[in-house]
C-alpha cells in the first residue's frame, strides 16, 4: 500500500501560502505551521475563534480593538482567553517588524481548545491554546462588485454562537457565496430568520437613499463589526444621518447606492444588485475618504 505522507510545515510561498509568520508556543515560525492534530477539539468539534486586523500603507487602524475582541469571542465559545490585550499588541508589533513597512497584511489572533470536556462535547477551557499569525494579503481595489439575495439565512443566537467570531459560522457564508457565484454574482445579502437583511456573506452592508445612509440594526444574528462601528461614527461626525433599522431586500434593490464595510477591504462599493447597475455614489466616496483619513491620522 502506498501512503503519501504530509509535511506538518509549509514554507512561505509553497502550497500557495503567501509570506507568513506565526507566534506559537513561545516563538516565531515561518510558513503555515501545524498547530493541532486530528484529536484536537478544534479540528474535531470546531472550537476555533479568530479575529482579523489589517496593516496597509504603514498603518494598523483599530488594531487594539481587534485584539481585544478576540478575548470576548473566546469567552463566548467557552474558551479561556489566556492573552491580555497588551501582550497581543506587543506580539503584533513585533510580528509587523518581520515585513516591509508598507506591506498589506492580515493580522490574525486565534484561540482553540485542545481537549474535550470530561462529560460532554464541550471544550475543556483548561486546554485552551493560542497563536498569532501575520501574513501578506493584498487589499482589494475599490472597483465594485455584484450582489444578489441568498437563499441561505443567518442563524439566530439561540442556535449558533453568533456573538463570537467563530470559525464554525463561516461555512454557511461560504456556501452562500458559492451559490451566488454559480448565478453570476460576486457576493450576496443574507437575511436573518425573520427575513430582514443581516449582512453580506463577508462584510457589513450599507445603502443610501434620498440623502440618508441605512444599515441593518444589529440583532444578534451578525457581528456588529469594528469597521462598521467606525464607519458609522465617522459619517455621523461628518454630519451624515445614519439610521440603523430592520431592512428588507426590496429596500436594497431601490437604493441610490450600496457599499460595504469590513476588516478585509475596509470600504467597497456595490456596482450591481441583481440585474440593476449602480454607480459608486457620493456616500461611498465620502466613507472611504473618511476612513482613510482616520487610518492615517
Among 89, 107, 136, where does a domain finish? 136
221 and 186 part of one domain: yes
Does residue 50 lie in a domain region?
yes
Does residue 8 lie in a domain region?
no
Q: Please tell me the predicted confidence (pLDDT) of residue 13.
A: 45
Q: Please tell me the predicted confidence (pLDDT) of residue 2.
A: 38
Q: Please tell me the predicted confidence (pLDDT) of residue 100.
A: 97
111 and 188 part of one domain: no
Identify any residues that bridge with 49 across adjacent strands, giving them in sequence order.
111, 166
266 and 291 part of one domain: yes
The closest of 150, 140, 286 to 206, measured between CA atoms, is 286
Residues with Cβ within 8 Å of residue 173, at least 6 apart in sequence: 190, 201, 202
Q: Please tell me the predicted confidence (pLDDT) of residue 15.
A: 62
116 and 242 part of one domain: no
Please state the three-class secondary structure of the chain as a single string: CCCCCCCCCECCCHHHCCCEEEEECCEEEECECCCCCCCCHHHHHCCCEECCEEEECCECCCHHHHHHHHHHHHHHCCCCCCCCHHHHHHHHHHHHCCCCCCCCEEEEEEEEECCECCCCCCECHHHEEEEEEEEECCCCCCCCEEEEEEEEECCCCCCCCCCCCEHHHHHHHHHHHHHHHHCCCCEEEEECCCCCEEEECCCEEEEEECCEEEEECCCCCCCCCHHHHHHHHHHHHCCCCEEEECCCHHHHHCCCEEEEEECCCEEEEEEEECCEECCCCHHHHHHHHHHHHHHHC
163 and 117 part of one domain: no
290 and 176 part of one domain: yes
Q: Is the pTM of this model over 0.95?
A: no
Does residue 7 lie in a domain region?
no
Q: Using the Cα atoms of residue 23, residue 28, residue 32 and residue 34 in order, give the sign of their dihedral.
A: negative
Backbone angles phi, psi at 31, to 5 degrees: 90, -175
Q: Which domain holds residue 63?
A: 14-136
Contact 227, 263 (CB under 8 A): yes
181 and 105 part of one domain: no
Inter-CA distances, 159 with 34, 156, 163, 169, Å: 31, 6, 11, 11
For 245, the grid coordinates are 433599522
163 and 131 part of one domain: no
Inter-CA distances, 191 with 38, 99, 184, 220, 283, Å: 34, 39, 20, 12, 24
- How far apart CA 167 and CA 3 sit, in angstroms, is 30
Terminal Cα distance for the chain, rounded: 61
Q: Please tell me the predicted confidence (pLDDT) of residue 5.
A: 34
Q: For 87-100, b where at least 16 C-beta lie within 10 A, e where not — what string?
A: ebbebbeebbeebe
Q: Please tell me the predicted confidence (pLDDT) of residue 120.
A: 86
Q: Into how many domains does the chain fold?
A: 2
31 and 103 part of one domain: yes
pLDDT, tens digit only, all 297 positions of the chain: 433 333 334 444 446 799 999 999 999 999 999 999 999 999 999 999 999 999 999 999 999 999 999 999 999 999 999 999 999 999 999 999 999 999 999 999 999 999 998 878 999 999 999 999 999 999 999 999 999 999 999 999 999 999 999 999 999 999 999 999 999 999 999 999 999 999 999 999 999 999 999 999 999 999 999 999 999 999 999 999 999 999 999 999 999 999 999 999 999 999 999 999 999 999 999 999 999 999 999
CATH (domain of 124): 3.30.470.10
Contact 41, 47 (CB under 8 A): yes
115 and 161 part of one domain: no
126 and 175 part of one domain: no
Does residue 6 lie in a domain region?
no
Amino acid at each position: 500500500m502506498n501512503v503519501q505522507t504530509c509535511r506538518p510545515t509549509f514554507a512561505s510561498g509553497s502550497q500557495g501560502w503567501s509570506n507568513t509568520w506565526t507566534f506559537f508556543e513561545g516563538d516565531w515560525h515561518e510558513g503555515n505551521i501545524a498547530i493541532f492534530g486530528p484529536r484536537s477539539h478544534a479540528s474535531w468539534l470546531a472550537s476555533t475563534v479568530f479575529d482579523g486586523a489589517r496593516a496597509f500603507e504603514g498603518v494598523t487602524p483599530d488594531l487594539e480593538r481587534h485584539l481585544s475582541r478576540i478575548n470576548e469571542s473566546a469567552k463566548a465559545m467557552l474558551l479561556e482567553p489566556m492573552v491580555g490585550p497588551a501582550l497581543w499588541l506587543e506580539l503584533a508589533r513585533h510580528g509587523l517588524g518581520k515585513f516591509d513597512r508598507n506591506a498589506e497584511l492580515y493580522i490574525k489572533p486565534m484561540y482553540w481548545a485542545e481537549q474535550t470536556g470530561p462529560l460532554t462535547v464541550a471544550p475543556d477551557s483548561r486546554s485552551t491554546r493560542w497563536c498569532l499569525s501575520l501574513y501578506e494579503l493584498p487589499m482589494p481595489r475599490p472597483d465594485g462588485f455584484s450582489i444578489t439575495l441568498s437563499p441561505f439565512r443567518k442563524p439566530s443566537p439561540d442556535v449558533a454562537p453568533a456573538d463570537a467570531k467563530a470559525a464554525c459560522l463561516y461555512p454557511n457564508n461560504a456556501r452562500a457565496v458559492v451559490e451566488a457565484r454559480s448565478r453570476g454574482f460576486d457576493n450576496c445579502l443574507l437575511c436573518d430568520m425573520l427575513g430582514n437583511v443581516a449582512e453580506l456573506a463577508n462584510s457589513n452592508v450599507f445603502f443610501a437613499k434620498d440623502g440618508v445612509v441605512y444599515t441593518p440594526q444589529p440583532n444578534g444574528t451578525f457581528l456588529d463589526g469594528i469597521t462598521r462601528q467606525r464607519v458609522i461614527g465617522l459619517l455621523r461626525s461628518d454630519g451624515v444621518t445614519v439610521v440603523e433599522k430592520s431592512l428588507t431586500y426590496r429596500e436594497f434593490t431601490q437604493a441610490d447606492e450600496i457599499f460595504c464595510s469590513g476588516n478585509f477591504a475596509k470600504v467597497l462599493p456595490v456596482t450591481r444588485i441583481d440585474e440593476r447597475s449602480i454607480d459608486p455614489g457620493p456616500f461611498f466616496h465620502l466613507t472611504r475618504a473618511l476612513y482613510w483619513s482616520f487610518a492615517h491620522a
